Amino acid sequence: MKKKLLSVMLVGAMVASLAACGGSSSSGGAAPAAGDSTAAAVTAGGEHTLTVSAWDHNFNIPALEAAAEDYKANVDPDFELVINEVSGSSDVETAITTGGSAGDYSQLTDIVLFQDHYIQRYVADYPDAWVPVEGADIDWSDFGEEKLSYSIIDGQHYGVPVDNGTAIFAYRVDILEEAGYTLDDVTDCTWADWIKIGEDVYNKTGKYLLSMDGEGNDLPYMMLQAEGASQWKDGEPYITENETMVQIINVIVEAVQKNALYLANNWSDYTDQTIQGDMVAGVMNGNWIIPTIEQVEENSGKWEITNIPTLNGGGGYAANGGSSLYITSNCANVDLAKDFLAKTFGGSTATYDKALTDGGVITCCISAGQSEVYQAGVDYFNGQPIYTDIVEMGTHVPVVEQNDYHYSCRSLIASAIINIAQGGASTEDALKEAEDQLRFEMGL
């Protein structure tokens, strides 16, 4: 059932939760009291005030504060950004859903942070909730094509990118060296060669060359994208007849069976027991995984990053996760919102330098990734200038077909992999079951 069919009776409670959930913070202005509508803060703050809803106190919120500080210092000294800090992306999604069910978006903040993988569905279901950012003074060619592909809908730009979801493959170079390998051996390599190296590393050191959350397995998607392929075709699942998908699933299963890859039981097992618990010599995920890696202080200087193996070699690139900022139809000053986004996340080095240093948010803007802050070597990663490297890698990520059922597909493919690797099911049967279930969920 589509989210828009939720009972209108829930609207008041759910929308109120967006205003109050998770507390609020502000940059240069008073935050709205718990339970108050953040939209009301626009009237109270006047023509120099914007409100925004976002999550993650240690990541997105510092990035927004950096943008507000930048705009206030360099554009409008009277500017105030009231930040409504919610507990997660689902709070923003709920507010859009309930507002759409009631036909009333008056409780939304001027701007919302929204996940890339969900936005096209929400624009399609609730077109009246959004204002395109067309006309904003942004050089769109300064952003990677793949990142923009999520927020360009019917030929119009709806969002301004915030965080860079480019995938990295990080390796413990000390463990590779112990097994007789270097980073060059796993750069531009084939998956077949990678499995051989992984098996050897495990036999010599007891470390897996990679781990992944078995419940929410992101590997198939990233590996597919690195091949320039998708799990979707013309809006429908493309799994059993997708030769590249079948090859990738077989690679993953072989890697598990040869102890090159460890499938963790859940997210906590993935982060706490494998990455931070010293079970693995490699991590492949969106670059937002870097702070998790860095939690282990004694491993500083032992990590380096490179690209993703591919079926035929040559090095691949992918992305996983990420969000952008969107203007809602409740915004009373759209021109201010566009100007704020354009002069901060639209390409400001000052915004992105501080967003990186304060919250670890890596820019999607190519020119901003050339600053001294980005080009500096990172001690934890053996002096490698990983941030400018990641921005450059993001320019190579291929655009592949996306779908609103991305996360449903991820869960079903993850179950199929476990059934093959541990349950003895054939690749053909497990993928057929996953595809049939996905088509059922999609009403196909």
Kindly report the CATH class assigned to 3-165+321-370: alpha beta
Q: Are 261 and 255 in contact (CB under 8 A)?
A: yes
pLDDT digits (tens, 9 = 90+) for 361-370: 999 999 999 9
Percentage of the chain lying above the pLDDT 70 cut: 90
Residue type, 180: G
Q: Which residues, at least 6 apart from 153, have a Cβ–Cβ distance to it below 8 Å? A: 119, 120, 123, 124
Rounded to whole angstroms, the Cα distance separating 211 from 274 reads 7
Q: Which residues pair with 130 in a beta bridge?
A: 328
Token pair 């040869």: residue: 258
42: left (phi over 0), alpha (psi -120 to 50) or beta: alpha
Q: Are 92 and 290 in contact (CB under 8 A)?
A: no
Of 170, 223, 188, the closest CA to residue 400 belongs to 223
Provide the 8-state DSSP code for 289: G
pLDDT digits (tens, 9 = 90+) for 156-208: 999 999 999 999 999 999 999 999 999 999 999 999 999 999 999 999 999 99
Query: Own/partner pairs for 56-62, CB < 8 Å, 24+ apart?
Result: 57/85, 58/291, 58/359, 58/360, 59/163, 59/288, 59/359, 59/360, 59/361, 60/113, 60/162, 60/163, 60/323, 60/359, 60/361, 61/25, 61/85, 61/359, 62/354, 62/355, 62/358, 62/359, 62/361
Buried b (16+ CB within 10 A) or exposed e, 425-444: bebeebbebbbebbeeeeee
Largest CA distance in the chain: 65
Helical spans, DSSP H, in 216-348: 219-226, 243-257, 267-268, 290-293, 334-342
Of 234, 228, 275, 271, the closest CA to residue 248 belongs to 228
Query: Mapping DSSP to helix (H, G, I), strand (E, B) and coil, where does residue 217 land?
Result: coil
Q: Are 309 and 247 in contact (CB under 8 A)?
A: no
Among the ranges given (10-24, 77-91, 100-114, 168-182), the one the predictor scored with the smallest mean pLDDT: 10-24
Rounded to whole angstroms, the Cα distance separating 173 from 181 reads 8
Of 289, 165, 170, 307, the closest CA to residue 226 belongs to 307
Residue spans per domain, the chain:
3-165+321-370, 167-318+398-442
Rounded to whole angstroms, the Cα distance separating 109 from 102 reads 16
Query: Which tokens is 362 given?
Result: 């890596």
**Whether the predicted pLDDT of 65 surpasses 80:** yes
Once rounded to an integer, what is the mean pLDDT over residues 419-429?
Answer: 91
pLDDT digits (tens, 9 = 90+) for 201-237: 999 999 999 999 998 899 999 999 999 999 999 999 9
Q: Which residues, at least 6 apart from 49, have a Cβ–Cβ distance to it below 8 Å? A: 29, 41, 42, 79, 80, 81, 82
pLDDT digits (tens, 9 = 90+) for 377-405: 999 999 999 999 999 999 999 999 999 89
Phi/psi of residue 363, nearest 5 degrees:
-65, 150
**Whether the predicted pLDDT of 13 surpasses 90:** no
Token pair 């990679």: residue: 210
Query: Which tokens is 189 given?
Result: 């390599």
Rounded to whole angstroms, the Cα distance separating 66 from 403 reads 32
Phi/psi of residue 115, nearest 5 degrees:
-65, 140
Look over the chain and give the mean of its residue pLDDT values, rounded to a whole number: 89
Phi/psi of residue 90, nearest 5 degrees:
-65, -30
pLDDT band at 33 (very low <50, low <70, confident <90, very high): very low
pLDDT digits (tens, 9 = 90+) for 95-143: 999 999 999 999 999 999 999 988 998 999 999 999 999 999 999 999 9
155 to 149, 175, 358, 367: CA distances (angstroms): 10, 48, 34, 24
Q: Which residues, at least 6 apart from 100, have a Cβ–Cβ distance to it below 8 Å? A: 4, 125, 126, 128, 129
What's the pLDDT at 41?
37
Per this entry, what is the length of the chain? 444
What's the pLDDT at 229?
97
Query: Mapping DSSP to helix (H, G, I), strand (E, B) and coil, where does residue 24 land?
Result: strand
pTM, entire model: 0.85
Expressed in angstroms, the distance from the first to the final Cα of the chain is 13
Same fold, 3-165+321-370 and 167-318+398-442: yes
Asked: is 167-318+398-442 a CATH 3.40.190.10 domain? The reply is yes
48 to 13, 80, 227, 278, 337: CA distances (angstroms): 29, 6, 46, 50, 10
Q: Are 44 and 80 in contact (CB under 8 A)?
A: no
